[in-house]
Homo-oligomer: A and B are copies of this chain.
């Protein structure tokens, strides 16, 4: 008997749920001043984390979040059979020198800011196939390393248009496996009494290219991909939006959210009441000057760990569609005039009472 069942054209349902055994979030100073300040596990005041480059700082950030997720699950690094991780930097060096530096067998991923969706999807697939009891999924981003990688060195002091998002300095990590978390009710445990968070299905993203060429309007680049994945998820699982308590995109921001809601309405689907966006949850734009919202593959990862999963095990949400969104931006292809296609990997996360 296969543990994973094909659903529709591009989704999979898990016959046995994949448990999220722990989740950790470490955020930067600016994120630590925002609406979720009391929810992060740790807030890092020094953006360099004692290192001498932004890249090393981000690696350290990701490694710390991964180590914390292992600890919160009551495990040791040697208990982790496999790690899936990624980040935004060229050749994913934040992960190669970060999570991968822990010595765990490691599969590196790249899906821009949707990487946490890819990591959880492939991690869940591996758990479902029987590969491991404990699998680590992690992503990170850092405002300074991302600006250097994709746009302008910070010292240039360039002006940011209102469509621009602010790359989150943060890293989120989860341990997933085939059994529920062992410890009940400890502050570290992702289990509240008999309530656990489980992954029950995934919808793989497709590259959707509407031809946008604006590296300072990532929301517009990603919204069509989010629309595509949401519609395929609903169709593949035979659901309507009301079957979800929340549909949470990664980092569309104000601009991208409006495009997504419009596109879905034109397809006869209204998710206005239940849509949330991690990029809009992490900052208070009225006081933090973050323009369209937060972004980066750390954004959805820290919001998932700090805020979304607690809502599941707290019983506020019974079923959530978590869809980190990514813009396939590269400074080389961008400067050569190529478009910025989008992708969005969806994960169905549900409350399970065991």
Contact = CB atoms under 8 A, between A and B. Distances in A.
Interface in A89-122: 89-93, 96-97, 100-101, 103-112, 118, 121-122
Copies of this polypeptide in the complex: 2
B90 A332 contact: yes
B107 A204 contact: yes
A329 B56 contact: no
Given A93-B328, A118-B107, A204-B107, A129 B129 contact: yes
B55 A333 contact: yes
B207 A100 contact: yes
B107 A111 contact: yes
Interface residues of A, number: 63
Interface string A79-93: 001100010111111
Nearest to A340: B96
A207 B338 contact: no
B118 A129 contact: no
A131 B96 contact: no
Contacts of A55: 332-333, 336, 338
Nearest to A14: B129
Nearest to A330: B91
Contacts of A12: 129-131
